[in-house]
C-alpha cells in the first residue's frame, strides 16, 4: 500500500486497461476521500493520456487529509453520455502519514 506524507506534493499515476482510451473522454475525475474530506481533481489538475492519468497534489491538498486510510476513485464521462469508473467495491487505497508541518511552506 502506498504512503503519502501530509504537506508533501505527490504525483499519483493511474494506469487503465488496454481497452480504455481516456483521450476520448469529455470529463475525467479523480476523487480522494479521507475521513469525510473529499478532494476532486479534474481538468487542468490532471494529465490524461490514452491509458494513464497523472494527478499532482499540492501541499494544501495533502494537508486536508488526516493520518490514516485514504481512498481514490476514478470517474470518466464520454461525449455520448456513457460513463466508466474504477471498481467502487475495490477503491484505490493508500495511507496518509503524519508530518509535523501543519502549514504550507
pLDDT at 100 over 70: no
Span 81-90, mean pLDDT? 84
Span 62-83, mean pLDDT? 92
CATH code given to domain 2-97: 2.60.40.10
pLDDT at 45 over 70: yes
What is residue 93's predicted lDDT score, i.e. its pLDDT?
77
List the chain domain ranges: 2-97
Per-residue model confidence as pLDDT tens digits over 15-42: 988 888 999 999 999 999 999 999 999 9
Its pTM stands at 0.86
CB 59 within 8 A of CB 9: yes
Q: What's the sign of the alpha-carbon dihedral 51, 21, 81, 85?
A: negative
Angstrom distance (rounded) from CA 14 to CA 36: 23
Task: Name the H helices within the chain.
Answer: 59-64
What is residue 101's predicted lDDT score, i.e. its pLDDT?
64
CA 11 vs. chain centroid, Å, equals: 9
Amino acid at each position: 500500500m502506498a504512503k503519502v506524507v501530509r504537506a508533501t506534493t505527490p504525483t499519483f499515476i493511474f494506469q487503465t486497461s488496454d481497452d480504455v482510451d481516456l483521450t476520448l473522454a469529455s470529463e475525467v475525475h479523480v476523487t480522494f476521500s479521507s475521513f469525510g474530506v473529499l478532494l476532486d481533481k479534474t481538468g487542468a489538475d490532471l494529465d490524461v493520456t490514452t491509458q494513464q492519468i497523472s494527478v499532482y497534489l499540492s501541499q494544501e491538498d495533502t494537508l486536508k487529509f488526516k493520518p490514516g486510510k485514504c481512498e481514490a476513485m476514478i470517474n470518466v464521462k464520454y461525449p455520448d453520455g456513457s460513463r466508466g469508473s474504477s471498481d467502487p467495491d475495490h477503491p484505490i487505497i493508500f495511507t496518509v502519514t503524519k508530518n509535523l508541518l501543519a502549514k504550507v511552506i
